Amino acid sequence: MSAADDDEVGPEPLRAPWDAFFFQPQSTAPMTLVRIGWGAVAAVWALSLLPDIDPFITKGELMYERSTATGSWDLIPRLPGDHAGLIVCLLLLVASLATVVGFRTRLSSFVAVLCMIMLQRANSAIYNSGDLLLRQVGIAVVLAPCALLWSMDAARDRRKGRVPNLLRAPYAMRLLQLELAVGYLLSAWTKARGDTWHNGTAIALSLRIEDLQRFVAPEWLFDQTVLLNLFTWAALAFEATFIVLVWPRRLRLWVLAAGVLFHLGIDVFLDIGFFSLAIYLAYFAFLPTEIADRWVGRFDQRALQDPVPPNAPASAGAGLP
């Protein structure tokens, strides 16, 4: 084989798995679940912020001194009127509910994400990583074709005689999956550089933070040093290995179940806002397509039908192994 032939076919073995991972069409049911869950959580997020719009977002005593970096943007102070923050929050609430029911989904989800970013930019001191992760999940919803099932948009298309292909390229879902997996890895890397995670005391110290306590851990728990050390190292191991173990089909549900238990354990004792809810929403993106199809199919029978077009290749409906 000549060098020219090598140049022609050489990149294909490397490019084909990459293309299949991001662009091989598959069911949109997992992102349908993400869309509905995200819209509902974003609506609750907006409702939780409404009572504090004045002290935190507009002109109250708790307003954080804006110091945005050069090139960044903050739209709320540039909007006319004294109630711009309240209007943006109410618009977020309406757009989030529209996303839940799948009404003009692409537009409503974009408006919801934009409003969320505007509110987060208005006072960065009152938000945490859970709020930022919720925003990132919303961006994936905007990019994904997640209104083909269980939505008012799909019902409108059916009334007009349109029958869309239910298999779509999952690039937005993959980006969300990778963002969560890499985020776990970076979290583990950061924790591994601290002494408390090495000596196994990080969990015990976290449970002592009074400002974050939802329920006070019983005193006898702090006497179980071996158990607390195991919890600490298990949390570190989970975050470090998630990026590897979540992809094989035979392990995926076990890894997701471990993650749910991990974050439930955190939520029992620590009040960390919307962080765990945002994690659970991202977990929906990892659901095997046949499971997501069954869940969505209980309300939309099209999810249970074979959505592969007649002329599609035999592998078009295959999901991640």
pLDDT tens by residue, 111-148: 999 999 988 887 777 788 889 999 999 999 999 999 88
Q: Report whether 89 contacts 53 (CB < 8 A).
A: yes
Q: Is residue 161 part of a domain?
A: no
> Per residue in 151-194, pLDDT tens?
898 888 888 888 777 889 999 999 999 999 999 999 999 988 87
Q: Is residue 15 part of a domain?
A: no
Mean pLDDT, to the nearest integer, of 35-58?
88
Q: Is residue 155 part of a domain?
A: no
- 3-class DSSP assignment, residue 167: strand
pLDDT given at position 48: 92
Question: 49 lies in which domain range?
Answer: 20-150+170-304
What is the tally of structural domains in the chain?
1
Amino acid (1-letter code) at residue 277: L
In this structure, the dihedral spanned by the alpha carbons of residues 312, 315, 320 and 321, taken in order and rounded to 10 degrees, is 160
Predicted TM-score (pTM) of the model is 0.84
Q: Is residue 143 part of a domain?
A: yes
Q: Is residue 165 part of a domain?
A: no
> Per residue in 15-35, pLDDT tens?
688 888 899 999 999 999 999
Q: Is residue 319 part of a domain?
A: no
The yes-or-no verdict on residue 284 having pLDDT over 90 is yes
Beta bridge partners of 26: 168
Beta bridge partners of 213: 270
Residues contacting 256, CB < 8 A, separation 6+: 246, 283, 286, 287
